[in-house]
């Protein structure tokens, strides 16, 4: 492509309504424009890059025997009633009516549609397994659309669904897709980690998320060199074996006027936060409960909610705390609560000997509180958030490490969740009817673009991994009006094209500095500069996007294409 003919509207400044680096750089590089909240246009450069991602994914889906389909984006309500999701999905689902007043939704995902297709066309074990996939637009009315194409309301997903005769066959196949996903991440040049995840509204019994490591990621992941990885909101904690065997001392009330936080009380009593029992009052489906964690720990509300099995969980309001404990906020403790409520304690709490905790009296704490003698819990369980210093719950040998990440893919073992509600069955070799067993596998294709940038950029712009780059090479003639330069540039350009290497020739009548700036902003991995002086010796200047200026090399015109091939 000649730059003068390309529609690449680069910008000096990013529009002010874009809220992260990748969204800003994509706009500045002329890849995207924002049309409205969570709605983005992909310009030629953006689409060209996206196609590279699509091609990698498509090849890997075909390598695990996937077959591509395309399903409608407009889906009738009936299918969603069958699975019960019409009512469960909530406000994220875009709903609309046709002229006959029939209800539809804009597809946020396609389990219903694909299960319908397969149940109507597969009836025998001989037709299984089968895996169908598509690149399809998804619509989700996200509460907070943000970060450009990363959390949009309309985005491109690759979704894939597999159907099997039994769990064992799904298990084997799931592993193959998992490995294909790893290859996709590697081929896209992405640093990633796989984490175990709870499966949310899509359901099923097991899932893994593929996370791209980036400091700007929305999620925190806890991982270990042994291979363990989990979203830190969901990471298990090892049950502490450390039991403090100090002899129990007499309890003692101490005055702590207006000092309520663990940190401040610890300072005031010259004690350490580890000696504290933090008592939090929550309301679970309308009922107040007390939750105990060690002073230096935090309650993991996801674990708490799962343990209680409630639909709604929130911290109690000050009036409720007063009513339950008999004291103002900051002085709750497990011993002598005014009202009898259920007490949930984290594993580590009963191990604290002679603990400090709120006295359930205004401005008072108690020292030397001990489990069994002074208080008891109804349930002792894993209730804390993992924190720095915690051991890996899997290998139990090393400390967990923490990184931020962006979820780009999610694989699920769905089991019979959808085949049961939608009656997707097949006849086995004995003529007996069985439910199909399903897997589903999603990748946020447009999100990969943004994630790749979050992982790789500098002050000058994007640095594309070679396989994703829209153009691999930028040819920069210092002066395109100079005949010798023009001739050399066009010769190299043609030769690269013959070799099917994507190249952008900057033929614009601009200062060379501007051409360099644009090539860097767009993130083209390699650049060839053609100037009068070096050309006199038959050379052009070659430089990688990641190299600094001093590292550029001079290569003979006739050798440059072969040289580039070794770099790609």
Q: Which parts of this chain interact with ligand ATP (CB under 6 A)? A: 109, 140, 142, 150-152, 155, 157, 200, 202, 407-410, 442, 444, 446-447
Of 229 and 358, nearer to ligand ATP (C-beta) is 229
Q: Are 102 and 141 in contact (CB under 8 A)?
A: no
Of 83 and 165, nearer to ligand ATP (C-beta) is 83
Of 34 and 447, nearer to ligand ATP (C-beta) is 447
Of 2 and 178, nearer to ligand ATP (C-beta) is 178
DSSP string for 204-258: -SEEEEEEEE-TT-SEEEEE-TTS-EEETTT---PPP-----PPPPPPEEEE-TT
Of 407 and 507, nearer to ligand ATP (C-beta) is 407
Residue 399, CA distances (Å) to 111, 215, 227, 230 in order? 39, 20, 13, 14
The residue among 205, 192, 231 whose CA lies nearest residue 452 is: 192
**Alpha-carbon gap, residue 108 to 49, rounded angstroms:** 24
Other beta carbons within 10 Å of 466: 14
End-to-end CA distance of the chain: give it in Å, rounded: 19
Of 109 and 232, nearer to ligand ATP (C-beta) is 109
Strands (E), 54-205: 67-68, 74-76, 94-97, 103-106, 130-139, 154-164, 192-197
Q: Is 99 helix (H, G, I), strand (E, B) or coil?
A: coil
DSSP-derived pairing of the beta strands 539-544 and 526-530: antiparallel
Of 281 and 408, nearer to ligand ATP (C-beta) is 408
Tell me how far, at minimum, the Cβ of 151 lies from ligand ATP, in Å: 4
Of 211 and 327, nearer to ligand ATP (C-beta) is 211
Of 205 and 287, nearer to ligand ATP (C-beta) is 205
Residue with tokens 């509207």, as numbered in its chain: 9
| φ and ψ at residue 349, rounded to 5 degrees | -70, -50
Which residues are CB-neighbours of 337 under 8 A, at least 6 positions away? 290, 324, 325, 326, 343, 360
Contacts 24+ apart (CB under 8 A), 170-173: 170/413, 170/415, 170/437, 170/438, 170/439, 171/413, 173/64, 173/129, 173/131, 173/439
Strands (E), 256-389: 277-284, 287-294, 313-315, 342-346, 355-361, 364-369, 379-381
What are the structure tokens assigned to 380, written together?
């002792």
Q: Are 496 and 561 in contact (CB under 8 A)?
A: yes
Tell me how far, at minimum, the Cβ of 86 lies from ligand ATP, in Å: 17
Other beta carbons within 10 Å of 554: 12
Of 149 and 170, nearer to ligand ATP (C-beta) is 149
Largest interatomic CA distance in the chain? 96
Q: Are 294 and 277 in contact (CB under 8 A)?
A: yes
The residue among 473, 474, 489 whose CA lies nearest residue 532 is: 489
Q: Is 403 helix (H, G, I), strand (E, B) or coil?
A: strand
Tell me how far, at minimum, the Cβ of 444 lies from ligand ATP, in Å: 2
**What are the beta bridge partners of residue 407?**
211
Of 84 and 200, nearer to ligand ATP (C-beta) is 200
Q: Are 94 and 130 in contact (CB under 8 A)?
A: no
DSSP state of 352: -
Tell me how far, at minimum, the Cβ of 139 lies from ligand ATP, in Å: 9
Tell me how far, at minimum, the Cβ of 140 lies from ligand ATP, in Å: 5
Q: Closest-CB residue for ligand ATP? A: 444
Q: Are 564 and 473 in contact (CB under 8 A)?
A: yes
Of 158 and 294, nearer to ligand ATP (C-beta) is 158
Of 146 and 364, nearer to ligand ATP (C-beta) is 146
Tell me how far, at minimum, the Cβ of 209 lies from ligand ATP, in Å: 7
Q: What angle do CA 129, 131, 136 make, to 5 degrees?
A: 165
């Amino acid at each position: 492509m000649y730059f003068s003919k390309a529609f690449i509207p680069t910008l000096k400044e990013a529009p002010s309504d874009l809220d992260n680096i990748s969204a800003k750089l994509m706009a500045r590089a002329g890849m995207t424009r924002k049309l409205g909240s969570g709605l983005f246009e992909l310009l030629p450069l953006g689409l060209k890059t996206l196609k590279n991602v699509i091609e990698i994914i498509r090849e890997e889906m075909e390598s695990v025997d996937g077959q591509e389909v395309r399903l409608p984006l407009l889906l009738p309500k009936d299918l969603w009633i069958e699975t019960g999701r019409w009512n469960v999905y909530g406000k994220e689902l875009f709903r609309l009516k046709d002229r006959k007043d029939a209800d539809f939704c804009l597809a946020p995902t396609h389990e219903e549609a694909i299960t319908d297709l397969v149940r109507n066309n597969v009836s025998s074990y001989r037709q299984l397994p089968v895996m169908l996939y598509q690149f399809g637009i998804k619509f989700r009315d996200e509460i907070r659309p943000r970060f450009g194409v990363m959390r949009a309301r309309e985005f491109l997903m690759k979704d894939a669904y597999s159907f099997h005769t039994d769990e064992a066959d799904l298990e084997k196949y799931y592993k193959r897709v998992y490995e294909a996903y790893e290859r996709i991440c590697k081929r896209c040049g992405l640093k990633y980690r796989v984490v175990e995840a709870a499966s949310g509204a899509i359901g099923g019994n097991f899932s893994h998320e593929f996370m791209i490591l980036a400091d700007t990621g929305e999620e925190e992941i806890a991982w270990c060199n042994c291979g363990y990885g989990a979203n830190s909101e969901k990471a298990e904690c090892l049950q502490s074996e450390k039991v403090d065997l100090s002899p129990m001392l007499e309890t003692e009330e101490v005055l702590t006027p207006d000092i309520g936080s663990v940190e401040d009380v610890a300072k005031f009593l010259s004690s350490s936060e580890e000696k504290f029992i933090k008592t939090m009052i929550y309301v679970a489906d309308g009922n107040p409960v007390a939750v105990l964690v060690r002073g230096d720990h935090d309650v993991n509300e996801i674990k708490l909610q799962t343990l209680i099995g409630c639909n709604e969980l929130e911290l109690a309001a000050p009036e409720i705390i007063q009513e339950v404990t008999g004291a103002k906020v900051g002085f709750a403790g497990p011993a002598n609560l005014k009202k009898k409520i259920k007490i949930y304690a984290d594993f580590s709490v009963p191990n604290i000997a002679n603990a400090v905790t709120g006295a359930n009296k205004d401005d008072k704490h108690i020292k030397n509180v001990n489990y069994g003698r002074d208080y008891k819990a109804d349930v002792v369980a894993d209730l804390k958030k993992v924190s720095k210093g915690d051991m890996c719950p899997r290998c139990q040998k090393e400390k967990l490490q923490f990184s931020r990440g962006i979820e780009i893919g999610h694989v699920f073992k769905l089991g019979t969740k959808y085949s049961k509600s939608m009656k997707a069955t097949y006849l086995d070799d004995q003529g007996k009817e069985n439910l199909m067993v399903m897997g589903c596998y999603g990748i946020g294709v447009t999100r990969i673009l943004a994630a790749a940038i979050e992982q790789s950029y500098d002050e000058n712009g994007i640095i594309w991994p070679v396989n994703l780059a829209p153009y691999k090479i930028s040819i920069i003639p210092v002066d395109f009006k100079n005949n010798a330069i023009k001739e050399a540039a066009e010769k190299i350009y043609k030769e690269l094209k013959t070799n099917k290497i994507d190249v952008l020739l900057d033929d614009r009548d601009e200062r060379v500095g501007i051409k360099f700036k644009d090539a860097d902003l767009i993130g083209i991995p390699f650049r060839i500069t053609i100037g009068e002086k070096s050309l006199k010796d038959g050379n052009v200047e070659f430089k990688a996007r990641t190299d600094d200026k001093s590292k550029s090399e001079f290569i003979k015109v006739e050798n440059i294409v072969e040289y580039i091939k070794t770099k790609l």
